[in-house]
Amino acid sequence: MAPGINRMKTWVLIAAMGGLFVVVGQVFGGTNGAMIALVLAVIFNFAMYWFSDKIAIKTTRSKPVTEREMPDYYRIVRQLATEQNMPMPKLFVSEMMQPNAFATGRNPENASVAVTRGVLQLLDERELRGVLAHELSHVANRDILISSIAAAIGMSITFLARFAFFFGGSDDEGGGNIFALLLAWILAPIAALLIQMAVTRSREYQADESGAFLSRDPDALASALIKLEQASRKVPPLASVSPAEAHMFIVNPMNALQARGRGGITSLFRTHPPTEARVERLRVIASELRGERGPIG
């Protein structure tokens, strides 16, 4: 598998989002309005980026664990971190019974990894190792930074479209028609969100790929994803976990709500690629590692 393809797709999507921002800004907000919206969004998302680890740990009610309490957890992560040439992250456990895991932190030096009680009960050691390799790859790939960039531009587009609708000039002043402004107010944020979701899906593929090569056991990660997908449709997450945080988990924690018809608008926007597609890609990597076929594009 070509390692740089998903990375390139991510930056193409971010560039597309940036282009959408420029178009919306020039048509409806003008240069000054566009710059103000961008500055405000960057400030907000910089704060989210800087404190993302603390926010994620708090909302999932995760608690730090010591090596004496969970020696196997520490052993697996330490081995993977050494292979990845990154510092040992802080380790946490959430009391969520939905099997899931996430990593956060603005860089490898400030990383945190958390697993739920449910995932510890569901997966065997090989599968857990595959999941943890995936999560460490998110940190090594600087996915928190990339997500923050995408979120900053997406928020800017939303802010700008709404600013243009409520404060745009009249037709006599050269402003857009009220119906065009209303259309922009509705469609521009949706377009931004769709691109942002595409960015997160691309990062999941990249973390699957990086994690598979890190663990050298793509079949274990594929097996874990199948189990996690099935379990996530049965056990809802903590009430404190919001749809806005779904992208940071290895599988979407909102699956149970969507399966019961209570997912609302979250069911329209996938934060993760289909598990079947992820598993298929991992099977290809497994074949590649066994030398059965050449890399895919």
Active site positions, annotated: 135
Q: Which amino acid is at 212?
A: A
Q: Give the start-end residues of each E strand in 77-224.
A: 90-94, 101-104, 112-116
> Do 105 and 112 form a contact (C-beta atoms < 8 A)?
yes
Start-to-end CA span in the chain (Å): 6
**Backbone torsions φ then ψ of 93, nearest 5 degrees:** -130, 130
Q: Is 70 helix (H, G, I), strand (E, B) or coil?
A: coil
Q: What angle do CA 106, 142, 282 make, to 5 degrees?
A: 135
Tell me which H or E stretch contains 178: helix 178-215
Please give the Cα distance from 275 to 229 (Å, whole number).
7
Tell me which H or E stretch contains 62: strand 62-64
Q: Which tokens hold the place of 196?
A: 């942002």
